[in-house]
Each structure stands twice: as C-alpha cells, then as structure tokens.
Amino acid sequence: MEYIFEDNKIYAKREDNLLLAEVTFPSRDESRVNLDHIYVDQSLRGQNIASDLMLIAYNYIKERDLKIIAKCPYAIAWFKKHEEYQDIVINVKTKK
C-alpha cells in the first residue's frame, strides 16, 4: 500500500479516491501532537494495517522531534502493547 504523508496525517487511497487507511495527529503545540484517529477500511481489517500505520506514524513523528499524546483508543492500546515505542509518548506508559 502506498501512503501519502501530510503534516498531520498519513493515509492511503484507492484509485477511485476511496479512503483505505488513515492516521491523524494534529499539532497540540510546537513540540507535541495528539494522535487522535486511526482508520482502516473494513475490507482491509485483520491484515495488521492499523499496526503498520501506527509504526509509520511513530517514525514520522519521532523524526520531527515531536512528542505524542495518544487520544485514540487503538493508539493507546497499541503503545501499551509495544513498550519499545513509548519513548516519545507522554501519556501512555506500561508499568514494569
């Protein structure tokens, strides 16, 4: 799947412009974004696309030296499951 990168979102569309997958992370201030939405079209669910998109978003945000405030329930659960990506997440930490 080919992703399109914009300032505050990453997404993929089909040739007919149907949205296939999307993650949004609007700016909260100069150093933080709210990761507030992840979407995968029903026809693609169960293929780990949401998880892949989270990793792509994490890398994109980290490369810009920003911190993440996870607002989306899926994002919160994903970060709890993947401790190794919590280094730039402000509000989600797993207890050791």
Which superfamily, per CATH, for 4-88?
A: Gcn5-related N-acetyltransferase (GNAT) (3.40.630.30)
Q: What is the pLDDT of residue 1?
A: 87
pLDDT at residue 92, as a whole number: 77
Rounded Cα–Cα distance for residues 53 and 11 (Å): 9
Residue that has been written with the tokens 């007919």 in this structure: 16
Domain boundaries, the chain: 4-88
pLDDT tens digits, one per residue of 57-80: 999 999 999 999 999 999 999 999
Q: Give the model confidence (pLDDT) of 13-61 as tens digits.
A: 999 999 999 999 999 999 999 999 999 999 999 999 999 999 999 999 9
**1 vs 85, more confident:** 85
Give the span between the Cα atoms of 91 and 33, in whole angstroms. 12
Burial of 33 (0-12, 13-18, 19+ CB in 10 A): buried
